[in-house]
A = this chain, B = another copy of it.
């Protein structure tokens, strides 16, 4: 049952420079150069090929550990080399809201730039390998390298757009559409970093999914079960298999529960009559109902 995205990253990193060897600490340290970091961030890195002037330290975290906390002094940006995390904002009432699930190639910590303190906290959901990017150093290099500067503005702008999409999702999509979009987004991100986009394990709990999507864990669970029932996905605990990605992409709302119940009753009747319908496949009529409106 285990699928690829639970395995360790196979990304190669540059050998540790002399400083790392000198440190000799028990903590596992590796170093990446500018070229590696740019590749990870999908920034054109032509000008940095063979550049060994700048090195960025890696740090490992285990599930549950915090990379940074809200209010902590800001000086680093972070790039995920492997593993899964959550970024959480806590409001003045103590409400926690998950803002993102960073994974390989994602940058986080940007929110600290403005007030020089992080406003959110980042927590590892699995074993993680994180690259530390001192912001002042990055900005300084950017000042002499227009491509990097543009890329840095671009990354911030991209994150802004991602959050706008999240606002739009929370503000105007039904719960089913949010869960569907969440699955599609995970699928696309897994594909982009070399894992399967069809079969994967969820790095987060139902509670975290629900929190991220603005619903309770029960609603998140029920919605996944409904998708499973309709044959759009197969879900068992953390493992997901996507049968109909396109239906998930275009889904706006499920057929009214009335229709779903009738459908379920038909199924039950068929089962009672000892007729076994094809496993996990939604009827064509049911798919049409979902696509409409």
Any B CB within 8 A of the CB of A211:
yes
Which of A8-16, A90-98, A200-208, A224-232 contacts its partner?
A90-98
- Chain B residues positioned under 8 Å from A143 (CB to CB): 143, 149
* Nearest neighbor of A170 in chain B, beta-carbon distance: B170
- Contact across chains for A163 and B163 when beta carbons are under 8 A apart: yes
Interface presence of A279 (CB below 8 A): no
Q: A143 to B111, alpha carbons, bound, how many Å?
A: 22
User: In the complex, are the beta carbons of B161 and A119 less than 8 A apart?
Assistant: yes
A112 in the interface (beta carbon within 8 A)? yes
Assess the B167–A167 pair: CB atoms within 8 A.
Answer: yes
Contact A167 B99 (CB under 8 A): yes
A159 at the interface (CB under 8 A from B): yes
Q: Which residues does chain B contribute within 8 Å of A159, judged by CB atoms?
A: 160
Smallest CB gap from A94: residue in B: B172
Q: Is A42 an interface residue (CB 8 A)?
A: no
Is A165's CB under 8 angstroms from B89's CB?
A: yes
| A153–B139 CB distance below 8 A | yes
A269 CB–B CB distance under 8 Å: no
Q: Judging by beta carbons under 8 Å apart, are A91 and B165 in contact?
A: yes
Q: Which residues of B contact A161 (CB under 8 A)?
A: 111, 114-115, 119
Q: Tell me which residues across on chain B come within 8 A of A93, comparing CB atoms.
A: 252
Interface residues of A in 155-183 (CB under 8 A from B): 155-161, 163-173
- The listed residue (B97, B119, B153, B154) touching A167 by CB distance below 8 A is B97
- What residues on B are CB-neighbors of A282 within 8 Å? none
CB atoms of B214 and A172 under 8 A apart = yes
A110 lies within 8 A of chain B by Cβ: yes
Chain B CB within 8 A of A32 CB: no
A52 to chain B, nearest CB (A): 25
- Is B214 within 8 A of A170, CB to CB? yes
Cβ of A120 within 8 Å of any chain B Cβ, yes or no, is yes
Residues of A within 8 A of B (CB): 89, 91, 93, 95-97, 99, 110-115, 119-120, 139, 143, 149, 152-161, 163-173, 211-214, 252
Q: A91-B173, A171-B214 are in contact. List 12 more A-B contacts (CB 8 A).
A: A89-B164, A89-B165, A89-B168, A95-B172, A96-B172, A97-B172, A110-B160, A114-B154, A114-B158, A114-B160, A167-B170, A170-B171
Offer 18 A-B interface pairs, CB within 8 angstroms, sorted by A.
A89-B168, A91-B172, A95-B172, A95-B173, A99-B164, A110-B160, A111-B161, A111-B164, A113-B154, A113-B156, A119-B164, A153-B156, A156-B160, A163-B164, A166-B167, A170-B170, A171-B211, A172-B211
